[in-house]
Structure 1
Amino acid sequence: MYQTFRQDGSDRQIRVQGSGSVKVKPDTAVVQLGVVTEGADLTTVQDENAAVTSMVKNQLMAAGVEETDIQTSDYSVFPQYDYVDGKQVFRGYQVSHMLTVTVNDIEQTGAVIDAAVQSGANRVTNIEFTVSQSYYYYQKALQIALGQALATAQTIANTMNVRLEQKPVRVVEEKSPDVSPLQPYAKTQMLSESAVPIEPGMMEITARVDVWFPFYP
């Protein structure tokens, strides 16, 4: 999208928009997983959850995940109720301890999830793939976006039979890069067996700019 406008007789500018994208294979996975336990006695349920969570953490580290890459993202306790003859009857408690696990060797994502599940993790809520050097690839996308903007402005100037000044007077860049998977990975909920192989696919890093170029008759 673009528009051409004139502020006064001596100040003529062409405004254009440019976008550029770079496709890159992700190299990092961030997995949300955890342990959910239930029972009638809160202390017993919490102790069981803590013991299983500890085993999960130990197994994750044995699988190659650094301790600093395992963080608690949520810990919750919920009372559970049944409804009998229209009345609320207390059934027990549910304790949930969710972890955020960063897998720096993306090829090991499936093995890491398998290790967590085999040691007691029974919930995986999200798997997100990222690029550790996203800023580097964003710079490449930004170069493409600026080149596209210049090419568009030059085409407009040639069509209008005017001379384009290729040094812009103003550039407005989107505040943050748009990083998105080309094929989003579906979320899962409860796990009762080993995780399936993980396919990260490709990611697309996009940059967008608004650019103003002066032109002359």
Structure 2
Amino acid sequence: MRMYYPYVNAYRQNTPNDHNGSNQVMTVLGNGSVSVQPDVANVELGVITENVSLLEAQQANATTMNQVIEALLRFGVPRENIQTTSYTVNPRYDFVDGEQIFKGYQVSNMITVEITAIDQIGSILDAAVESGANQVNSIQFTVQNSDTYEQQALQEALANAYDKANAIATSMQVNLNPIPFRIEERTDTMPIPFSKLALSAEAGATPIEPGQIVIRATLEVKFRY
């Protein structure tokens, strides 16, 4: 995301007259970051079934996926937080002596689940696996209301840009106009990705550590001197 500010009155102070009409421009990058405890997890999980009969593979998949969804609902996951992301049917083949031999069909049904009960993620995943889920592809942690943290990161980035510009101006022995005349904003929220998980119904409670999310902001700030 990019936003342009032609004028910002942060750090406003009385400036010497020799700033007026100055054509010298200093461009600096300011960086800010805020560490946040995540409060939402988005999990992709699913059911894969195989059978020589396509109908039986589909029926088995539907039955198992319904069991998985019911398990999620019992844990208090709202139905609107469960969304189908893909449903595929593919023929399976073996190759013997260069000859293609039909093996059967594979049916895959993947869903994305938004979980707000962060402290129960491990138990929820275990319940899904025990109900028949045999794929857990990723977990991404985020925050529901990131605006406040993004603003904090922007404030830090602007302060950092001013400190850099002031240090450079001091080193160059020039007078810095502390009022930036142009700011370009780039912000980025970095969710913590988890690689594909191998889960087993016999593994016991699965430990899931959400860690922290770092919300970063970078500003390109132009000053006159």
TM-score, structure 2 length as denominator?
0.85
Unpaired runs of at least 5, structure 2: 1-20
Contact 2:130/2:201 (8 A) holds in 1 = no
1:142 aligns with 2:154: yes
Task: Count the aligned residue pairs.
Answer: 204
**Number of the residue aligned with 1:196:** 206
SS at match of 1:163: coil
Question: Which stretch shows the higher mean deviation, 83-92 or 39-48?
Answer: 83-92
Equivalent residue letter for 2:196? K
Measured in 2, the distance between the counterparts of 1:113 and 1:178 equals 25
Unpaired runs of at least 5, structure 1: 1-8
Equivalent residue letter for 1:206? R
Matches within 5 A, 1:103-142: 103-142=115-154
Measured in 1, the distance between the counterparts of 2:46 and 2:53 equals 20
Contact 1:138/1:205 (8 A) holds in 2 = yes
Matches within 5 A, 1:148-159: 148-159=160-171
Equivalent of 1:207 in 195, 217, 221: 217
**Number of the residue aligned with 2:60:** 48
Contact 1:117/1:193 (8 A) holds in 2 = no
**Number of the residue aligned with 1:88:** 100
1:179 aligns with 2:190: yes
1:60 aligns with 2:72: yes
Contact 1:123/1:191 (8 A) holds in 2 = no
The percent identity for this pair of structures is 46
- CA shift at 1:162, angstroms? 2.1
1:27 aligns with 2:36: no
Measured in 1, the distance between the counterparts of 2:219 and 2:22 equals 25
Contact 1:13/1:212 (8 A) holds in 2 = yes
Question: Which stretch shows the higher mean deviation, 186-195 or 89-98?
Answer: 186-195
Measured in 1, the distance between the counterparts of 2:73 and 2:154 equals 38
SS at match of 1:50: helix
Contact 1:122/1:192 (8 A) holds in 2 = no
- CA shift at 1:83, angstroms? 1.8
Question: Which stretch shows the higher mean deviation, 86-95 or 159-168?
Answer: 159-168
Measured in 2, the distance between the counterparts of 1:36 and 1:92 equals 13
List per-residue Cα deviations over 1:53-103 (Å, max 9, x = no partner): 111111101011010000001100110111223211101101000010000
Contact 2:53/2:104 (8 A) holds in 1 = yes
SS at match of 2:26: strand
